[in-house]
Chains A and B, each alone.
Chain A
């Protein structure tokens, strides 16, 4: 780039020049102290005394080493740590596989739906010689990933069904489904989680006690399905009528045409929006900590709030967690831009 072009970009006019100078000044003022705090003065070993001696002049990354198992796996029994680790690896692995191209076309949806189904017996145990671990003890990263993957796997079929239902010729069905979608989209997720926490137990008949985790998952599926149904409905409306005419000309029946002509095209077209919903759900799973399920955000609180020694280094542990969420979102965003459903 020529010098003149550079000059125009950084000092094109008064406003531009002032902004450039302001940002350079801010960088000179703040970046060196930040670097000193995060790297030069920082302590990397899990040693409370050394961290306290810093008196906040440097970061205490030792808190991450000290609390990593608790933040990542929650209250899961330490002796069985390999099970939540494997469960998280299965789900994260399927996302990596789709994002980085190993998985394509028809295999994508089963590959994303299967790992959460495998993760449940792996975490729960009680078969194949694995000791039973109650769902209250599941937590950390595997729980965050499980809620996201299982939530999407449950919500997508339901969302597709609702989208079709809202196009049916039965006014009663249409009205009911429209009511459901508007209700779910109108309320905050916390309200839905409170319903799962306080109301669902009242609805179930006597003798049926369902764990909080499954009640929350039901709420998440119903909540997300309303959003997904709107995405799929948009895709169905955008599909050109000629596609159906051509299918009819070839002798396809209604359901045959939907299965082989309509749905594959619609899902491919709306795949980026579906991935955006997955990102939103991934972040929203942090709310389940409010109804006492300790996924990543909740286990951060559990790990530090009761520990007066390490609690002052909350910010460092927080940054570790923020980095995990950021990476998860980036991974899902990559799935969205790769539109992997393309054959």
Chain B
């Protein structure tokens, strides 16, 4: 036993030495290469002017503002598309999941076709299609489509009633397009629509699987108690299914956050695309990618904590 223990210790020491050695070797090679190419390293570039602007941003960021501000604006842009996206995906996913379980064959067929189509086409390809539709097929800004009073859509995006400089404003067609209210860019809309419809299809499938995985006795017992099929679904099946579906649905929502990084493909300035731009400008590949990786790991940790808390709150109440 003692021989075994010391053999284990020796083996572990060997692993540590090998891993440390490998990382040291990588560090030395990398440092040499950086020196050859005349690239300085370190995070000091975050305090220097960014030298680029963001296509859109909640925070006002200029090319002269420091780089860390641009990264923060990128993170805000990620959250601006991912947080409403998560809420919408939950809503649409729940509806589509119910649709797949409906008695009505038309509803079931439609929900099934939606889930099947959107899950089996790459998200990137879907985003490209939404972007094409929003920027090429819609009319120009001076001939915007009126969807509802004060809601216009055109190549330059969606105009909505919102608070502006002069209080609450209702968009109106002006000389060169739409004046007043708030504007959502085609990049943002394509990201939001694409992420929501893709994630909602997965959430629908997760919910359906959770309902179908319940023991059939649950439904039969509730029916025997005289509940209507709708009551059975709402009061007996759904609460149980939600508990089972909570961990996979949380991981779907986390995937939505990670998938928001595809924004770089259609020019929405999220965190990853800001990091990419900054990387090209400063050449500080390691630092920029470390920032992206650390931020995403922190997001994963937060998601894990939230999921844990939700699971604990939804535990069965034990009879005392």
Contact = CB atoms under 8 A, between A and B. Distances in A.
Interface string B124-145: 1100110011001100000000
A203 B29 contact: yes
A220 to B, nearest CB: 14
A66 to B, nearest CB: 18
B87 interface: no
A167 interface: no
B8 interface: yes
Interface in B7-43: 8, 11-12, 15-16, 19, 26, 29-30, 32-34
B33 A326 contact: no
A325 B122 contact: yes
Contacts of B289: 191, 194-195, 198-199
Interface string A183-205: 10111111100110011011111
B144 to A, nearest CB: 18
Given A23-B107, A23-B110, A315-B129, A190 B122 contact: no
Interface stretch (A124-132, A168-176, A246-254): A168-176
A297 B124 contact: yes
A224 to B, nearest CB: 15
A44 interface: no
Nearest to A314: B132
A67 to B, nearest CB: 15
Contact of A187 (B12, B29, B230, B297): B297
Interface string B101-131: 0111111001000000101111111001100
A184 to B, nearest CB: 10
A230 B104 CA distance: 39
A202 B289 CA distance: 13
Contacts of A176: 15, 19
Nearest to A315: B132
Interface residues of B, number: 52
A330 interface: yes
B262 A287 contact: yes
Given A284-B122, A314-B136, A170 B258 contact: no
Nearest to A201: B33
A314 B124 CA distance: 15
Interface string A153-180: 0000000000000000111110010000
A289 B300 contact: no
Interface string A203-231: 11110000000000000000000000000
Interface string B242-270: 00000000000000001101101100000
B125 A321 contact: yes
20 contacts: A9-B105, A10-B105, A23-B107, A169-B8, A186-B300, A188-B258, A189-B258, A191-B292, A191-B296, A194-B292, A195-B289, A199-B289, A206-B33, A286-B122, A286-B125, A290-B265, A297-B122, A314-B136, A318-B129, A326-B120
